[in-house]
Structures are given as C-alpha cells and as structure tokens.
Structure 1
Amino acid sequence: MRLKLNTKIILGFSLALSVLLLTSLGAYKSIQQLSFYTREVQHTNQVLRYTSDLRLRIRDAQMSVRGFLLIGDNNYLLAFRDGFQAVRVDLDSLQELTRDNPEQQSRLDTLRRLVGQEKSFLRQWTVLPPSPEAARDLVIADQNNLNQLNTLLVRLRTSEEDLLRNRMQYQDFYQNTTPFAIIVAAVLAIMIVLWLFLKISRELKANQLLQEELTRVNEDTTRRIDIIEELAERVVQGDYTVKIRSEEQQDSLGNLATSLNRMTQTLEENFTTLKNRNKELDQFAYVAAHDLKAPLRGVTTVLKWIEDELASEISQQMRQYLDMMKGRLSRLEDLINGLLAYARAGRADQAEVQVNVDQLVSEVTEMVVPAGFQVLRPDPLPSFLTDRLSLEQVFTNLIGNAVKYHHQPTGTITIGCRDVGRCYEFRVQDDGPGIAPEYHDKIFLIFQTLRDRHTAESTGIGLSIVKKIIDEQKGTIHVESAVGQGATFVFTWPK
C-alpha cells in the first residue's frame, strides 16, 4: 500500500527523532562518565597532595624541635605547635576524602595514632635544655618513629597512585569516545535530514508532474469540448450528415446523444478531480501543520512522563535541559499555530457588513488591553461597509503588539483615522521602546522578529498576517518609528 506524503513525513521525522534521541543519550552517557572520572582523578590528586603535605609537616615539626635544641629560640616551639595543628587538619581532610575506601581509612587510623605518638615524643624534648648534643640525640631517638610514619605514608600514597592510574585510563577512554559519540550523532542527523529532504523532493516533484498532467488533460478536454459544441450546434441547425473527420473525433462518435452525455460526464469527473487535487495542494500547509502537532504533542508527553516517573533521579542539570526542551517545543507549537493563522488569513470570502469602527476598537480593547494601559481615540472613527472579521484581526494584532512589546507595565495607545479619498487611513500609535529605521521593512516579513529567538511569544508571524490581510484588501501598511520614541503603524483600508 502506497503511503501518503504526509504519512511519510511523519514517519521520517519520527525515525529521525528516535535516532537522534538514542545517539544523544549515548553521547550524554559518555559525557557523564567522562565528568565522573575527571572528578575521581581530581579527588585522587587531592589525596596525594594532602599526603605529601602531611609528610612535610611532620618533618618540619621535628626540625622545629631540633632547631629549638640547637639555638634555644622559642619561636621554633611555636612552629612545632602550628605544624601539628596543620597535621591534624590534613588528617581530617584525608579521612573525609577516603571515607569510601575502608583500606585507606584503616591506614589513616594507624597514621593518626603514630602522629599522636610522634607529637608526644617531640613534646618531651621541648622541655630539655637546648644543646647540640640534645639535638643529635633527638634525631637518633626519633628515627624509628619517622621510619614507621614514612612507611605508612608510602603505602597510603602507593594505593592512591594505583587508583589514579586506573581512573586516568577510564578518563582517557571516555575523553576519546565522547567526541566520537557526538560526531556520530551529528553525522546520523545530517544523513537522516538529507534522506528526508530527498524523499520529500521526489514526492513534490511527482505532485508537480501530476499537476502538469492534469493541466494537459484540461487543455485536451477544452479542445474536445469545442469540437462537441461545434458538432452539437450543427446538429441543432439540422445538419444530421455532419461527420467528425479526424480519427480522434471518430473515436468519440457512436450514438450522438450517448456520446455527448458520456463526454459531459467525463468532463465533470475530470474537472472534479482537478478541483480536488488543486484543493489538496492548496491546503498542504494546513495538513502539514496539523500533522506536525501530533509528534510535537508526543514529545511533550514523553517529557512529562520523564519528569513524573524519574522526578527523584533527575539531576538539576538534566532538569534544566528538560525545561529548555519544553521551551523549544512551546515555541514550535506557537510557530505551527502562527503558520496556520497565516495560511488562513484572507482565504475565506467574508460577507461585507456595516462596521462601526469605534465600537470594533472598543471590543478589541476589552479583549487584548490590560488595565495598566489606556486607549485614546482623538479622531472620530468611521462606520462603513466592509469585511468586519479581517479589520478586527488587523486591529487585534496591532493593538496587541503595542501592549506585548511595551517596555513598561503601563502605557498609552492612540487610535487615529482620516479620510484619504477611496480609503480610510488608520494610525495605531504607542509610547513603547520604538523600532530602529533599519528594521521597518523587516518586521513585516514572516518569522522576522526583533526579540530573542528563544522568546516563545515572539514567532514573527503576527505582522505578516496583518500585511497579508491588508494586501488582500488592496491596502497599504508601514511603520513610523525611532528607537525610544514609540511606534506608529499606519495602514489604509478601502471604503
């Protein structure tokens, strides 16, 4: 069974989204592992640094006591006390850093005990009279304690160096595989997008050929109608001997009434087919936009499931990513809705009715203007026969934009009007931030906005809809503005 173009687009984008999701998850996992082992390497380096500091501080503490015994300067004793206070801080830091390693914790307990013994031992020498002989005896007597401390510190350091080598191997592995995973995801995304582009291009080309074929059939049918009209006219005039000379014409003859009826029926079917095909092509924007909403809602639902079912497991960083995805999905939905509104603008033939513009502006003001803004109408607004719905949509967009893009919570909007002959010229003026002259033409183009692209409410379609409606009415629109001086949108509307 041959799938429709819309179905192919949906299936293609669903496949693309699935592949991108899987590759993105792989890349994310690789990045997480790289981050984990990077932290582990930093953690091990901290342990090694504290171990080296601890060894130096114990050695400095002994040298301080020895300096006191050699020179008799009490400042050395202050350095001795400060050194062991720093040793205690280093031990506490090492205890905290290695709390997940029972073997190292055991060594630290032993080290803490030996440090206490060393401190007690050295304190005994601080009360002796200073002399070179006492300093020499201290070095000899303390040799065994220092050897034990050094041996234990070496074991502690060797264990951490083994851990460091192992963790650096994992870090190097994920450091090399993470860029590869990201590149694979990007290449797959590009290949899928190109594949979708080729498929859609082929389908559109096939539709174009079909349109050309329908045009050819239409031309051929018109020619046949001319032949039949000539034949019918001559029959009406009583020329029953008339013959269709060409072979093609003889193929359409038999019983004249039956042939005419069959031809009429054929023409009706052909024109109906042509009309339906043109209608399908004309409404492609509607179908595409509506069908795009289905996967969009699906992705939104999946995000909600993730937040609901994994609420306790999602990290703060991941939650920020989910919020960013929801913002992008919201903006995409606004763009689709804006496309639908743009495609509908000016399509339906609305009956012309008597419109009181003053009353219409009052109704629009109640709908879109908040309490902090005031709408002034210094000029009398006319009442005339026109398309009310289209004029209301123009005022709604312009007044709504004056409020939406105002830089203050309060402001003034002024609606003016003057008769310029065959048209009325309306002015919608605000006291907002204004628009730089270089953007005066850009703002009327579809998807063009002066706001940040990540601002969900700024789709860049509103003014495009206004311009499309006014163009359908054979009117004109332009903006008069400068930065910091507000903006005035001036448009003409035929009477």
Structure 2
Amino acid sequence: MKSKIDRNIVIGFALAIGILLLTAAASFWSIRGLSVQTARVEHAYQVLQEAETITAVLKDAQAGTRGYLLTGDTMYLRPYSIATGQLPASLERIQALTVDNPAQRARLDSLRILVEQEFRILRPLTEIKKSMSRAAMQTLLDTDRQTLRQVRILYARIKDSELALLAQRSALQDVFEKATPIVVLVSAVLAILIVVWLVIKIAKELADNRRLQGELADINAEISRRIAQIRALAEQVVQGDYTVKITDTAEDNLGGLATSLNRMTQTLDASFSALEKRNQELDQFAYVASHDLKAPLRGVTTIVKWIEDELAAELSPQLRTYLDQMKGRLARLEDLINGLLAYARVGRTAQTTATVNVAQLLGEVAELVVPPDFTLRVAPEMPSFMTDRLGLQQVFTNLLSNAVKYHQRGAGHLEVTCREAGPFYEFRVQDDGPGIAPEYHQKIFLLFQTLRDRHTAESTGIGLSIVQKIINEHHGSIRVESVPGQGAGFIFTWPK
C-alpha cells in the first residue's frame, strides 16, 4: 500500500512539474520572442538612422565645398572635414548592422563606392589651384551633382527596404506584446491550479498514510506480543525447560513457527530425556570401570609382587623378565583406564569460574610436571582473567608433561607465551625436543595415537585427546607447529 501511495505522489509531482515546465517554456518563448522582435525593430531603426546620417553628412560636405568655391572662406570646409572623419566609421557600423541582409549589403557596397567617388570629386575642389580651369571645375561640379543624385536614389532604396523590414518586425512585435501577458497569465493560473491539486492530493495521501500507520501499529503490537511469546519459549529452552508450549493457533507464518517450536520442544524433551538416561548409564560405566575393573587389576599386580617377594631365590632371569613385562602391561592398562575415565569426565562436570593469574598457574603446574633439569620461561605478558581454572590447568599440565615426556634429550628448555586474538587469548607452549613430522600433526590429537612404542608404559595416546576435548568445550582451537629436529609448538586459543 505504501508503494502505491508513493507511486501516486510521484506521478502527481511528475505531471505537475511537466505542466509547469510547459507553461514556463511557453512564457519563456513569448517573452523571448517579444525581446527578439523588439531588438530587431531597434536594429531597423539603427540602420535607417545610420543611412540617413551618411546621406546628410555627405550632402553637408557637398554644400560646404560649393560655399567655399563661391566665397573662398575656409569656414565652409568644416562640413567636409567632419565628413572625412565620420563617414568611414558610419559605413563600418551600417555594414556590421546589415551583415545578415545580403541585399542591403550589396546596396551598402554601392553606397561605399559612391561615397569614395564623392570624396575624390570634392578633394580637388577644396584645394583651389590656379592651374584648374573653369571648365574643369564645372565638370567636377556636374559629376558631383550626379554622384549625389545616385546617393539619394540608393539611400531611398535602402530606406524602403529597411522600412519594409521595420513594418514586418513591428507587426510581429505587436503580436508578441499582446500574447506575452496572456501566456504569463495562463501559466500563473495553471501553476495555481496544479499547486491546489497537489495540496489536495498530498493531504489525501497523508490521511491514508495515517490510517495505514494506525493499522500497521496494531499489527506490529500483535506481532511483538507473539514474538515475545516465542522469545520467552526460547529463554526457557535455554534454561533447560523443554515442556514449555506456545498457545498461538493463528494460520500465518508466526503461527506455523509456533507450531514448529512446540514440536521442537517436544522432540528436545524426548531427546534430552534419552540423553540423560545415557549419561546415567555412562556414569554407571565409569563407576564400574574405576572400581570393578581396577580392583582385579590391582589384585593381579599384587600377585605378581608376591611372586617376586616369595620366590625371589627360585626365579630365573628369563622369568624375571616376563614378570617385569607383565608389570609394565598392568601399569599401561591402569593408565589407559585412568585416561579413559579422565576423557569421559571432560565436559560432564560443572565448570567453576574464578580469577586466574596465568603466570601463577603455570608456576604451580611446573612444580608438578617439570623436572629440575628443565628450564621453563614464562613470558611477562601473561593475563589475569575470569575463567575455568581447572580446565586451563589440565591443558597446561598435559602439554608441559608431554613436552617433558617426549623430549628424549635430557635437560630441555620450555617456553610459554601469550598474545591477544580478538575475543580469545592465544597461548603457545614451545619445547626444544625432537619435533613432530608434518604427517602426524593431526593424528596426535586422536585417541590412542602416540609417536612412541605402544608398549611404553607412559605412552597411552590419550593426553592430547583430553586437551583437545577441554579446549573444544570452551569453544577454542588447538594446532601444532613443528619441524623434525627443531622442537614443537602447541598453540591453543582460550576465551577471554
């Protein structure tokens, strides 16, 4: 509906602007035409004035020259002097004014020739020479009269042609003088009508808009109420209540979403009930593994010890070797059971957060797992922050103990550094041990994967799996950077 209203307003404005542009163009055309015709009328008057000036000045020059010949008074030569300075400029101006009129240009070219001819006749007469005979003077005067007569005839033609143009231009000027006020008035009336129509149209559209806004406000309020119900259901699901239901039976998208959420909560309730049952079974398995499996294991270990104690004198070297191998296998089996129990418990115990000073935590871990012949360097930029202390302690314990366990070079050097990586801290545990080949960089995090002989008692292949599971539970990541012979660096991220 809004797009339709906007489209109507745009169309109305476009129509109004189009009409206004047309009326403005008509007004401009009328005023421009009046201005052009007025300029052309003035142009015709200027041509007539210049032509008349040329003829009058030339006539005055002739009269003054004749007066000079009769009286010998040089005062009569003043019109001639004025003509010699004024006529060339007048001829240039009138030619410039008639540049768009070829017929007049031809007449003016003839006029220029006659003027030059007249000056050639008058110039000897203004310089009386004793050698000039009366007959020669009379011949010049007769030629002068004929030249001036031709000038008058040519002037009459120029005047008649320009008067005809003037009459035509004056008639057009009258037309534009009468049309311009009418066009301006019509344009003004149209503009007023368009403005009134637009005001009415916009007022109607605004009224429709207000009505629609009221309807949309009611719809938004209803949708907000229904969304609030969905949000409340989501919050209860997050808190572990999967029995909640939404009483929304409307047949629209939100109603369909409410029905889907109700089915989802039913499915989650059933799934989590089954999961809780499986967890209880896993707890029972952990109890059995920690007691029923470890008890006979300790019994076998005790029997082996009794054999060694009571039959020490009767045991052959080969039998002692067999007993040592048996004790190693039993110890490995116990380590495997303990490792599996530790792996199963990750994520199933409640996490307790506390302020952890990482440097202090590393000092405590080092006292437990780093031998005296190893050196541990902790970078000075270690943070203090609220986190799961037990989980972070387990990660550092396993990584440092692994670095010591697989060092194979006697005394070694360990280093722990930290840097910020967005919402995480990125820790790096670096050693100077034998390193890890690239093909094992992913396998070492799998259960029971170890780079040592499986029969080595302390190599269960579970430690790094526990580390990865703890870090994953905290939404972090872990990777290894290592080249054989150049040590290994375990880099993991931990949320701030």
Whether TM-score is above 0.5 comes out as: no
TM-score (norm 1): 0.44
TM-score (norm 2): 0.44
* Larger-Rg structure: 2
